[in-house]
Every structure is written in structure tokens, then in C-alpha cells.
Chain A
Amino acid sequence: MMPLLKNKNLSNLSFSFWVGSICVLFVFLLAIVSFFWTPYDVTSLEISNRFKTPSYNHFLGTDHFGRDILSMIMVGTQTSIAVAMVAVGIGILFGLPLGLIAAAKRGTFFDDLVMRFNDLIFAFPALIIAILITAVLGPGAFNAIIAIGIFNIPVFARVARGAALTQWSKEYILAAQVSGKGTILISIEHIIPNILNLLIVQATIQFSLGILAEAALSYVGLGAQPPIPSLGRMLADSQTMISIAPHMAIFPGLFIVITVLGLNLMGDGLRDYFDPKLKVSNS
């Protein structure tokens, strides 16, 4: 990442990028803090204290079992972020090499095979298949990761292949070939650093999609299982009680919005920053 930002002026980053990154930073901080400390224990029920509206003792109120909503949200974002992050990791781990090999062997049978298989995965509605996978393998955070991760693979394969193709046509690749370097070495040494910006942008976008997908899966009860709190299930639990305790739905929903919006703003900002075509020249 360092040479990527070298000689670039950070003040060129847009306002929306900074707003987005502040949102993301805030959510990440909450998630990290929840590892060591939460205001209350999320597993202890206190029925006498249920449906409390936000107050000094319970900052965001309590739910129908008397659990502290702030603590649940903190642990819930932790689950969401972990699931989305590992899912993006799976996408990069498998998608990037596939895309790079397809680009290196462009026009061959292997290239066609990889890309048509990608098309095949794209042809299925991602969330429905994710529901199918978790339904078959059983609900749980781990299976949610696999289900979301599989659909990240073709996304990264496609982005990597497209970007790598333009790099392969450049003369410095030819110079590397003349220096006797093989396909794999060229891909690692020359292609990856030059397509990294696109991958970073795509990763932030996939990350926000992953958080949404995790929320959706736990909303239908296929994500992390109780007693582990998750934002999606908090929404599902609250919907029957929305007239008596609207804060139960509002706060988890707001957190999903903040995270996803923040990530999207950050992704947009990074894309504008890396793509010279969108920049107004000030020289």
C-alpha cells in the first residue's frame, strides 16, 4: 500500500471519503472494544428490566429479555465485521489467483473455463443460494461466511482479470518477459502492485455487501445463533414489538446503515482518488 500512496496528495481525497472513514472507524472501534468490555453481559437476562427506553443506565435501552441493547450491538457488529472480513478474504484468496491466471493465459481454454464458471455463479441470486447453503449445512456464523465468501470469488476474479489484462498489454511486462521472468513471478511482482488500487476499492464495496448479507442471513435466522447477538436477528426479534419498543429496531438498523453507508462512501472516495480520469487536473 505504501508505494501506492507515495507521491499522492492525501488532500485529494474527497470529503465523502473522510465522512465514510470516520463512520467505519467508529464502528470498528466499538467492535474492538467489545472484545474486552461491554457495558453489560449480553447473555444475562433481566426480565424485570425489559423494554427500558434509553437512559443513563442503559444507553440505548433494553430488549424484551432485559438485555442491554448497546452491548448487544457492540458484540453484533463484531460478528458482522468478522463474517464480512473473512468472506472478503475468501474472495480475494481464491478470486485473485483465478483472475490473474486467467489474464496470464488470456484467450486459452483455461481462461474461458474460469470466466464461464464465474458467469455460472453470477447467474444464481446470491442471497437465495446463501440461504440454501446455510439451510443445508446448518445455520451458524461459519456457514454464513462460506456462503457469502463463495459469491465473492467470481467478483474478485473478474476485477483482477480485467485490470490485469490492461497491464499485460504494457511494454514493461514485455521487458520483464525478456528478462526471463515467468508468468507467476510477473503476476506477483508487476501485475498485483499495479491493480491493487482496484482491488482495494472492490474490497471495501464487497465488505459492505458482506455486512448486509450477514444481516439478512441472521434476520431469517441462518446467521450466528443465539446467544451470540447479531444485528440481523435483533431486527427480526424487534419487529413484532415495534409499537411498544421502537428503539429495539431503530438502533440496530441505524448501525447497519452507518456501517454500510460508511464503507460505500469510503469505497467511492477511494475510487475517485485512484482513477485519474475522474479527477479534475489542477496542474
Chain B
Amino acid sequence: MNLIKVNNLNLSIHEKEILKGLSFEGKAGEILGIIGESGSGKSMTANSIIKLLPFGSSLTGEIIFQNRNLLETSEEEMCTIRGRDIGFIFQEPMTALNPLKTIGEQVSEVIRIHKKINKYDALNSAATILDRVGLPQTDFPSTRYPFELSGGQRQRVVIAMAIAIKPKLIIADEPSTALDVTTQAKLIKLLKKLVFEDNICLIMITHDLSVIADMADKIIIMRNGVIVERGKINILKNGLKNDYSKNLLKASNYKSKKLKKKISNQTLLKVDNISRHYSDNSFRFFGEKKVFKAVKNVSFSINYNEYVGLVGESGCGKSTITRAILGLDPIIDGKIILEGDEIKAYNVTNNIRKKLQVVFQDPYGSFNPRHNVLKLISEPLYLEQSQISDYEKLNLVKELLEHVGLNAEDHKKFIHEFSGGQRQRIAIARSLILRPKLIILDEAVSALDVSIRAQILDLLVELSESYGLSYLFISHDLSLVKSITSRVLVMKSGQIVESGNTKDIFNSPSHAYTKSLIASSPNLESSLRKLS
């Protein structure tokens, strides 16, 4: 008996087709994974089921939920279904909660809307539900406000709101994407437990195959609003028929090309025992200033042609190190030496600057929207004191655009005309124009879809061969670091807790933190192995 059955669902928004002929079904106690890259229509599928769609949308087809066609249900009736029968978990726990209400109030609000009980009883049952999602009253009283909780704890509150009335169906739209790996692992465990205990049907929407491989019973792979692949989870092992889904799996299981050039023994960059403290800037009459130690006695080095990974969760001090190496932030102790020259904050000579470039995470924020691509890519040429003619500049930019896999004539365009992956290619072109020795990749591929991520990583390997580059990969994504780097540094609360050969660390981590990090990071290979 199907709990939900979607039949030939079509959605168009302002005459633009978003979803085309979707059909799938879900049973109680089952986890259905919907996988797709950005723009595939997976979130719109979720929003169609609860009929929360933007203006100008028209929906045709059938959504049979508990023997009732939701498309023919009035908005008032939908209000009673949402929350009571269908729970929803959002991607962004930072914005899904009202910052002015306590967590107890928010959960009890859901209960009071659907059950006619008084405030006191509702608060009490909210407390038991919060307890169930792992926020016990002793540690997290329901009088707490969202800002007093971490991202993972907030997402637990969102889950508590979704399960408060024991719905039969829960839709989770990328519930763990915004969270650190260890938190993500715990949340997925919790969701699986709730599905099992309450006999819920969970529709899990994600872009990450490795997350879904470990939990779903059935999967659907979507592309451009169409289902391209469907079946039991074990089709991931070797039952995929569609080329797109095969590529997606391959890209998720990315293995970098092997480096032909040998890693040299000579040190390119040496970071020697650096520390950075941030002090509370406000003036106070009494008491000592609060000091936050972002980086504590960190040392490492990078050799020529070497790829080094720096791994850690958010807030561990990764970005501070980037800024320190770039000479944008003063360090209070220690030295950073690049090819024998010390990098001093605010006082970096052009000679050092030329050897050092950076690619940032956000493909949208790292370009001035008012400049064209020619101007964007040639910006670092400012460091060349000798004047370069506009003609030379143009030729250089055209050549680089072709090197990074774009069209040479793209130099006239503005940045908003490019997709996320193309923007990252432009960022790489910008970092290459001075032929640097070291490029820092600060989460440079984290915001990209897996198939595009694989292309960019391939490009980076190719470029490092032809340009003789070293990379410092800064990332929270272990599988990425594992696939491409030869040496890895694991960072926690401003300190490097473990470092060494990538293979050795992943096979036999010695520090407890590294162990937990590796254990909790979703591993597609091992989950696939477990599938029958």
C-alpha cells in the first residue's frame, strides 16, 4: 500500500517547464532519495507535494496522499495536512527558526495548531519531542533561543518541529548540507532512527550520492526536471543504465589523475610556528580583554609541485591561515617564508605576491560585478611594474581563457553571464595570469555540483603539470582532499592535530579527532560495498 503516489506530475512557472512527467511512490517506513544537481528540479518536487510554490506556477497530474489527490485539495485543507500529516525539514537551519521565540515555543506552536490543547501541555509535549531528537531538557532547556544553539542543534529543533505531530510523511530538503561532517553523520543517524521507530516515509532530497547511498531504500535521479534513473538503492552498485547517472556516480567517486611530475624535495612555502589571536576590541574599564586564539603554533611546509590538504570543520582557523599566508592578516608569532623571503603582513613585496595566488569558495562573490572578464582576469597584472600594453594583455587573457576551457571571446562578457562552474574557471584563470608558484584553493570547489567539481579538479591537475604549480587545498570535505592531495594536515581549534601522507592518515589515523572525522564523513565507496 503506497502512502504517497505521484503520477505524471508537471509543473511550469511563468510558462517555463520545471518538472516534466514525474511519477514515483513511497511506502511507510521507507526512505526515498531524490538526487540531482542544481537546477534539476528536486526542491521544486518537494515544494509541489506540499503545494508551497512561487506565484505563477501551474501544477498538473496527480499527487495521491492517503487516498486523496492533493492537487484537488483546497488551501485550507492543505494547511491542516502540512505539519500534521506531512513534515518538512529545510536546508538552512540558521534561517528556518524564528530568532525571537524559544525552541520550546516553536515546537509547541506546531502542536497547538493541529491539536486543541493548552499552552502548558503543548510545552510539555514539546519537551519530550526535543528530548527525542537528542536535545535533553537537562542540557538544552526548551527556554533556549535559537542563537544559543549550534547549527546541528538548530537542525535538530527543525526536525523536532517536523515530527511533532507524528506525520506519516517527512520531506527533507538537503537537511545536512549546511552542516559539518560529524554533525551531518549524527543527524542522518537520527533521521534513520525516527523513520524506523515511527514507521514514517522519508523523502530525502540531496545532491550528495554518498549521503544517500548509506540510508535510502529507493532512489530517483533527476536532471532538468525529468527522472533519468529510478530503482532500489543497489542499482548504484552496477545497475545504472542512464549515461548521466553513471557520470554522476563516477564524479561522486572522484579519483584524480596521477601526477606525472615528481614532487621535489625543496621547500616552497614554510609556515613556522605561527599564531594569531583576536582580541575583543571594545574598550572596557574593568577586567581583562577577552582573547580568542584562532591559530596556535601552526607549522607546516609545502614543497614544489606538491598538493597539500588542510582539513578541518568550520571555525577551526583555516581561513585565518589563508589570510596570514596571503599577508592580509598580521600574525603575532612565527614566520611565513616563501622561497626564502619572509611574508610580512601589509608589507608584501610585489615579488612575493606574484608567486602566490588564491581561488575562493564563492563563485558569485569573488568577482566585481561591474567589470568585464578581461578586466577581472588581468587584475593581478597590476603587480607587474613594467607596463603591459593592452594588446598583450588581451592576448594573454584569451590564451588563459582557452587554457581553462572557456571561449577566447568570453573576455567581453560580464560575470553574471556565466554559471558557477564557469566562474570558478575564470577565478582559476585570474590566479594563473602571473604564473604563480603556489595557489591556495580556499574551498574552491565546495559550492559546485559534483560533475562540475570533477571537471574543475581535472583542470587543476592538468594546469599544475603545465605551469608547475603547488596547491594548498583548504576544505572541510575529506573525500575531496583524499582524492587529490598527497599530504594532509588535520586542523582542530587552531592547532594542527595530525599531519602526514594522505594515504597513511586515511588508513590509520592516530588522533581521536581525525578518527571521528574519517568515520563520520560519508564514504561512497564503502557504502556501495555494503550494498548487496
Q: Are A170 and B365 in contact (CB under 8 A)?
A: yes
Q: Are B357 and A178 in contact (CB under 8 A)?
A: yes
Q: Are B368 and A194 in contact (CB under 8 A)?
A: yes
Q: Are A174 and B328 in contact (CB under 8 A)?
A: yes
B residues near A4, Cβ cutoff 8 Å: 370
Closest residue of chain A to B357 (Cβ to Cβ) is A178
**Min CB–CB distance B57 → chain A (angstroms):** 12
A residues near B54, Cβ cutoff 8 Å: 281
Task: Choose among A3, A107, A177, A282 the residue with the greatest number of B CB atoms under 10 Å from its CB.
Answer: A177
Q: Does A181 contact B (CB under 8 A)?
A: yes
Interface size class of A (residues with CB under 8 A): 20 to 34
Q: Does A120 contact B (CB under 8 A)?
A: no
* Set A3, A6, A179: member contacting B379, Cβ < 8 A: A179
Closest residue of chain A to B442 (Cβ to Cβ) is A171
Q: Are B370 and A194 in contact (CB under 8 A)?
A: yes
Q: How far is the CA of A171 from the CA of B369 in the complex (A)?
A: 12
Closest residue of chain A to B354 (Cβ to Cβ) is A180
- B 417-434 contacts with A by CB, 8 A: 427, 430
Q: Are A282 and B416 in contact (CB under 8 A)?
A: no
Q: Does A176 contact B (CB under 8 A)?
A: yes
Q: Does A175 contact B (CB under 8 A)?
A: yes
Closest residue of chain A to B382 (Cβ to Cβ) is A179
- A 173-196 contacts with B by CB, 8 A: 174-181, 189-190, 193-194
- B 65-95 contacts with A by CB, 8 A: none
Q: How far is the CA of A94 from the CA of B348 in the complex (A)?
A: 31
Q: Does B360 contact A (CB under 8 A)?
A: yes
B residues near A179, Cβ cutoff 8 Å: 353, 379-383
Closest residue of chain A to B56 (Cβ to Cβ) is A282
Q: How far is the CA of A170 from the CA of B366 in the complex (A)?
A: 7
* Set B356, B365, B380, B414: member contacting A171, Cβ < 8 A: B365
Task: Known contacts A177-B328, A178-B357; decide if A172 and B370 are in contact (CB<8 Å).
Answer: no
Q: Are B281 and A178 in contact (CB under 8 A)?
A: no
A residues near B368, Cβ cutoff 8 Å: 172, 176, 189-190, 193-194
Q: Are B366 and A172 in contact (CB under 8 A)?
A: yes
Please, what's the 1-or-0 string for A92-111, where 1 marks a CB less than 8 Å from any CB in chain B? Answer: 00000000000000010000
- B 354-390 contacts with A by CB, 8 A: 356-358, 360-362, 365-370, 379-383
A residues near B367, Cβ cutoff 8 Å: 172, 175
B residues near A243, Cβ cutoff 8 Å: none
B residues near A57, Cβ cutoff 8 Å: none
* Set A3, A178, A181, A283: member contacting B326, Cβ < 8 A: A178
Q: Are A178 and B366 in contact (CB under 8 A)?
A: no
**Min CB–CB distance A158 → chain B (angstroms):** 21
Q: Are B357 and A107 in contact (CB under 8 A)?
A: no
- A 1-31 contacts with B by CB, 8 A: 3-4, 6-7
Q: Are A7 and B416 in contact (CB under 8 A)?
A: yes
Task: Known contacts A179-B380, A180-B350; decide if A172 and B416 are in contact (CB<8 Å).
Answer: no
- A 228-283 contacts with B by CB, 8 A: 280-283
Q: Does B186 contact A (CB under 8 A)?
A: no
Task: Known contacts A107-B281, A179-B380, A190-B368; decide if A174 and B358 are in contact (CB<8 Å).
Answer: yes
Q: How far is the CA of A4 from the CA of B369 in the complex (A)?
A: 10
Q: How far is the CA of A177 from the CA of B357 in the complex (A)?
A: 10
Q: How far is the CA of A280 from the CA of B55 in the complex (A)?
A: 10
Interface size class of B (residues with CB under 8 A): 20 to 34
Total A-B residue contacts, Cβ distance less than 8 Å: 66
Q: Are B14 and A178 in contact (CB under 8 A)?
A: no
Q: How far is the CA of A194 from the CA of B365 in the complex (A)?
A: 12
**Min CB–CB distance B411 → chain A (angstroms):** 16
Task: Known contacts A7-B416, A179-B379; decide if A171 and B14 are in contact (CB<8 Å).
Answer: no
Q: How far is the CA of A103 from the CA of B281 in the complex (A)?
A: 16
- B 26-61 contacts with A by CB, 8 A: 54-55
Closest residue of chain B to A282 (Cβ to Cβ) is B14
Q: Are B414 and A178 in contact (CB under 8 A)?
A: no
Q: How far is the CA of A138 from the CA of B268 in the complex (A)?
A: 70
Q: Are A178 and B369 in contact (CB under 8 A)?
A: no
* Set B357, B370, B379: member contacting A176, Cβ < 8 A: B379
Please, what's the 1-or-0 string for B398-440, where 1 marks a CB less than 8 Å from any CB in chain A? Answer: 0000000000000000101000000000010010000000000
Q: Are A174 and B14 in contact (CB under 8 A)?
A: no
**Min CB–CB distance A20 → chain B (angstroms):** 26
A residues near B365, Cβ cutoff 8 Å: 170-172
B residues near A177, Cβ cutoff 8 Å: 326, 328
A residues near B361, Cβ cutoff 8 Å: 171
Q: Are A178 and B370 in contact (CB under 8 A)?
A: no
Task: Choose among A3, A179, A282 the residue with the greatest number of B CB atoms under 10 Å from its CB.
Answer: A179
- B 1-19 contacts with A by CB, 8 A: 14
Closest residue of chain B to A186 (Cβ to Cβ) is B368
Q: How far is the CA of A194 from the CA of B371 in the complex (A)?
A: 10
Q: How far is the CA of A193 from the CA of B370 in the complex (A)?
A: 7
Closest residue of chain B to A196 (Cβ to Cβ) is B370
A residues near B382, Cβ cutoff 8 Å: 179-181
Q: Are A175 and B360 in contact (CB under 8 A)?
A: yes
Closest residue of chain B to A169 (Cβ to Cβ) is B365
**Min CB–CB distance B227 → chain A (angstroms):** 24
A residues near B430, Cβ cutoff 8 Å: 175
Closest residue of chain A to B417 (Cβ to Cβ) is A7
Q: How far is the CA of A164 from the CA of B308 in the complex (A)?
A: 35
Q: Are B366 and A175 in contact (CB under 8 A)?
A: yes
Q: Are B350 and A178 in contact (CB under 8 A)?
A: no
**Min CB–CB distance B243 → chain A (angstroms):** 30
Q: How far is the CA of A7 from the CA of B413 in the complex (A)?
A: 11
Q: How far is the CA of A172 from the CA of B353 in the complex (A)?
A: 16
A residues near B358, Cβ cutoff 8 Å: 174-175, 178
Q: Are A171 and B366 in contact (CB under 8 A)?
A: yes
Closest residue of chain B to A177 (Cβ to Cβ) is B328
Q: How far is the CA of A154 from the CA of B209 in the complex (A)?
A: 54
Q: Are A171 and B328 in contact (CB under 8 A)?
A: no
**Min CB–CB distance B341 → chain A (angstroms):** 15
Q: How far is the CA of A179 from the CA of B365 in the complex (A)?
A: 16
**Min CB–CB distance A107 → chain B (angstroms):** 6
Q: How far is the CA of A24 from the CA of B14 in the complex (A)?
A: 36
B residues near A283, Cβ cutoff 8 Å: 14
- List 30 A-B residue pairs with CB atoms under 8 Å apart, sorted by A's residue number: A3-B370, A4-B370, A7-B416, A107-B281, A170-B365, A171-B362, A171-B365, A171-B366, A174-B326, A175-B358, A175-B427, A176-B379, A178-B326, A178-B328, A178-B356, A178-B358, A178-B380, A179-B353, A179-B379, A179-B381, A180-B350, A180-B353, A180-B380, A181-B379, A193-B368, A194-B370, A280-B55, A281-B54, A282-B14, A283-B14
B binding-site residues for A, Cβ under 8 Å: 14, 54-55, 281, 326, 328, 348, 350, 353, 356-358, 360-362, 365-370, 379-383, 414, 416, 427, 430
A binding-site residues for B, Cβ under 8 Å: 3-4, 6-7, 107, 170-172, 174-181, 189-190, 193-194, 280-283
Q: A6-B414, A172-B367, A180-B383 are in contact. List 17 more A-B contacts (CB 8 A).
A: A171-B366, A174-B328, A174-B360, A175-B366, A175-B367, A176-B368, A178-B356, A178-B357, A178-B358, A179-B381, A179-B382, A180-B348, A181-B379, A190-B368, A194-B368, A194-B369, A283-B14
- 9 closest A-B pairs (Cβ-Cβ)? A171-B366, A179-B380, A171-B360, A193-B370, A180-B383, A170-B365, A171-B365, A3-B370, A179-B379
